[in-house]
Amino acid sequence: MLVLAINGSPKPHGNTAQALEAALEQINRAGIQTRIETIGGLLLHGCTGCGACSGGKPCVHKDDAASIIELMRSADGLIIGSPVYYGGITGQLKCLLDRAYYSGAAQQSARVCAGLVVQRRTGGMDALRQIENYFALSSVYLVPTRYWSILHGAAPGEVAQDLEGMANARLLGERMAAMLRGALPTPPDAERARTNFVR
């Protein structure tokens, strides 16, 4: 079993990484393998909506997204983390998630998912909802915690001072491990119909 954490921060050892590591530590304690991938230094192009990938062809962009999307496909659990940039997730993370979900690859991946964000002052709710909107399209189980998975921190390492936030990150890891160990059934895919309201 594998839980993949995607660090959407350009800083591989920053506050977002530290919060993700707190969650992953609990998952490791349950005997589940974990992996963290930092995408900040990768070459990631935005989705152009050309539709090539939804037709079974590879993405027209030849960049680093394909390798991360393959990791998403192989994961049993997925935690997506991001710092808050101007009230939302980072641009790099949005590029990756748009392409992963547009292609349908994410729907074939992890069935237990969670989002986690780190804010300096505000914008955390919007950024967390932005991540969770992707999950809402994917027939996945969302890991519940006691509070929103929003932590505070700006300077390097400052997130560790958010005792409540770090406790919630650890709880997120514990609950994800419990959900994965509980062998929850995969939600069945329902028939889909597409309706365009603009003709």
Each residue's pLDDT tens digit, 88-139: 999 999 999 999 988 877 666 668 999 999 999 999 999 999 999 999 888 8
The H or E element spanning position 38 is strand 33-38
Question: How many whole angstroms separate alpha carbon 99 and alpha carbon 4?
Answer: 17
Tokens encoding 103: 């292609």
Mean pLDDT of 33-39: 98
With a pLDDT cut of 70, the percent of the chain lying above it is: 88
pTM, whole model, 2 decimals? 0.90
Q: Of 70, 129, 75, which Cα lies nearest the Cα of 99?
A: 70
Rounded to 5 degrees, φ, ψ at 196 are: -105, 125
User: Phi and psi dihedrals of 82, rounded to 5?
Assistant: -155, 145
pLDDT, average across residues 150-156: 95
Residue 102 has a pLDDT of 84
- What's the confidence (pLDDT) of residue 109? 64
- The sign of the torsion formed by the CA atoms of 41, 46, 47, 53 equals negative
Residue 36 scores a pLDDT above 80: yes
Instruction: Determine the 3-state secondary structure of 65 from DSSP.
Output: helix
**Which domains are seen in the chain, by residue range?**
2-181 (3.40.50.360)
Res 54: pLDDT: 81
- Tell me the pLDDT tens digit for each residue of 43-82: 999 999 999 988 778 899 999 999 999 999 899 999 999 9
Percent of the chain surpassing pLDDT 90: 75
pLDDT for 103: 81
Q: pLDDT confidence of 195, banded at 50, 70, 90?
A: very low
- Dist. CA 5–CA 194, nearest whole Å: 32
**Measured distance CA(194)–CA(109) in Å, rounded:** 22
Residue 3 pairs in a beta bridge with 34, 77
